[in-house]
Structure 1
């Protein structure tokens, strides 16, 4: 239809005007707009323009997902206001102590451990036993732990104070244990003519057990940090399990060390019967028994912590809900494990050239250059070697007789 539209327009224009030349019909002819005027318009001519139908386009609705931030929510809703010291009952979600901690007990043990700390410092100075700095660190950590605990009893909502006192008290046995290992190594070097127990020379014994103790210390440090006061329950549970593994490993090493100490004890009984020990070396028993006492009380403390943590943290386990357990089975045993070395100080027995161990890796770490024998190329004093040979000859002669 649209092809005939120009032809119809051209025919109409030719009929209305003789002056306008007739435009021959031609397929596809388009008239210029300026050739058609208003007088050429005929209202009787109708043009049928077809209707164009455009289909409806439907755009599906776009759904934008809801954005959400997965932030930890504070599920703690206290129902009881803390008292002037920050205490709330154990049933409250913001309770850092499951009992009302005693300021007096914390101050008392701060003073006791402080006394042992000062005593060890004085004794180490008098007897010139610089390796005693290790046991001095143990007493210092216990003292600091209970000083912070005393402060924490008056600010019981402070997570920082509660965590610090827990870490110092839980980790201080590491130093005492390491000191026990070092004392036995020096006793082997000082008393035994062959200066070894089985395959263990003094330096090797001290190196192995001190580094094993250090490994258990790191495990306990990780667990104790995770189980700090105010942490989420699942993290506290995981931290307690890690800490228990650390002290379990520590006790395993103590048992192995006990076996070596017993072997040393048997050798000492044998040499003592030969009568070769004179002077200070006749006091070997008091030093060895002090070692046993220290190790036993560390073991008591470890067993207590294992029982406490393995029994859970609910009402069925009464240990975390009563403070006296901690003082009776942790603080007091550690007081004795450290204090026994004040009563029987190694410097009162381990004297003379035999008391100075030759330079070794662990001794460089634990003595900070304390002994003059650690000069380059010096391992033993010549008189020391001659006396050891004389002792061995005397033992063989008495055994033959």
Structure 2
């Protein structure tokens, strides 16, 4: 088969649905698991439905970011399910890679808002940054990193369609985006750790009444699993499209899919609408917490 015929054959594979061909690698380096795709579609779909019911019932509209994140994850895993039947289809591949990179941003946005609420309740002294600074600083970093990754992904995708195309510049651009995202998340984790340290050192949670402690624990847990996922994706992409991690699905299932399920399902169980004090009592609670913290100094 000539080079021109080979390129035409690959184009047909990328636009049609064809089963796995022995000796011809897919964009993944493997054939995605149908069972895993269905399981994660079900998990994210159920979480999305429950989150939507919860936020509508209690009118906590900012919690819609969790539903949107689940929807984005659902689309990504639908793309991987599609790829399990059509492993060479480029639309399915691009569908999953773009959505699964974006989805965690919705979850982190929800955590930024939730952390801001905790700071309002426990007092400004509980955090090095103000609630608005958390939201604007880290959301801006997320958007910038996603734009860089999107540009890199588009560059790499365009090169794969060319004869002898060089995907290195696009891949390197994506790595810059994911490293920047990793840096911003690391800073956020550091700020969160400082917040947790201040809360426990001043025993601020002991001044609270009601079930706020489980929600606090859920937030910390969600931050940790998202951070684990970010470390994995940074190492994965830095190894390139043929690296060890990216070509082994078990790591993706455990360190991306499972981590994201845990990050969002924990808020189905410990939902802010049920556990966060209402805004009517927030000022009173915050004032009492600050007095309590002052007495401890």
Q: Could you say whether these structures have the same fold, taking a TM-score greater than 0.5 normalized by the shorter chain as the test?
A: yes
Q: Deviations over 1:342-386 (max 9, x none)?
A: 222122221322577xxxxxxxxxxxxxxxxxxxxxxxxxxx3x6
Q: List aligned pairs for 1:17-56, cutoff 5 A.
A: none
Aligned position for 1:323: 249
Aligned position for 2:127: 197
**How far does residue 188 in structure 1 lie from its aligned partner after superposition?**
0.4
Aligned position for 1:335: 261
Equivalent pair of 1:190/1:350 in contact (CA under 8 Å)? no
TM score, norm. by length of structure 1: 0.63
Q: Which 5+ residue runs of structure 2 have no aligned equivalent? A: none
Equivalent pair of 1:124/1:130 in contact (CA under 8 Å)? yes
Aligned pair 1:85/2:18, yes or no?
A: yes
Equivalent pair of 1:106/1:147 in contact (CA under 8 Å)? yes
Equivalent pair of 1:124/1:132 in contact (CA under 8 Å)? yes
Distance of 1:224 and 1:355 partners within structure 2:
47
Aligned pair 1:209/2:135, yes or no?
A: no
Q: 1:226 to 1:107 in 2, by over 3 A?
A: farther
TM score, norm. by length of structure 2: 0.83
Distance of 2:187 and 2:51 partners within structure 1:
28
| SS of aligned partner of 1:319 | coil
Aligned pair 1:296/2:224, yes or no?
A: yes
Equivalent pair of 2:17/2:88 in contact (CA under 8 Å)? no
Distance of 1:101 and 1:235 partners within structure 2:
25
Q: 1:197 to 1:323 in 2, by over 3 A?
A: closer
If asked which structure has higher relative contact order (CA below 8 Å, sep 6+), I would say 2
**How far does residue 144 in structure 1 lie from its aligned partner after superposition?**
1.1
**How far does residue 73 in structure 1 lie from its aligned partner after superposition?**
6.1
The correspondence for 2:65, drawn from 134, 141, 147, is 134
The correspondence for 1:250, drawn from 176, 181, 185, is 181
Q: List aligned pairs for 1:6-155, cutoff 5 A.
A: 76=7, 85-89=18-22, 91=24, 95-155=26-86
Equivalent pair of 1:189/1:355 in contact (CA under 8 Å)? no
**How far does residue 285 in structure 1 lie from its aligned partner after superposition?**
3.4
**How far does residue 223 in structure 1 lie from its aligned partner after superposition?**
2.2
Distance of 1:253 and 1:352 partners within structure 2:
30
The correspondence for 2:97, drawn from 157, 166, 175, is 166
Equivalent pair of 2:204/2:293 in contact (CA under 8 Å)? no
| Greater per-residue helix proportion | 2
Distance of 1:78 and 1:388 partners within structure 2:
66
Stretch deviating more after TM superposition (285-294 or 108-117): 285-294
Stretch deviating more after TM superposition (386-395 or 214-223): 386-395
The correspondence for 2:107, drawn from 163, 176, 190, is 176
Q: Deviations over 1:252-310 (max 9, x none)?
A: 11222222222322332244369532x22xx4432232222222222222222222222
Q: 1:265 to 1:73 in 2, by over 3 A?
A: same
| SS of aligned partner of 2:167 | helix
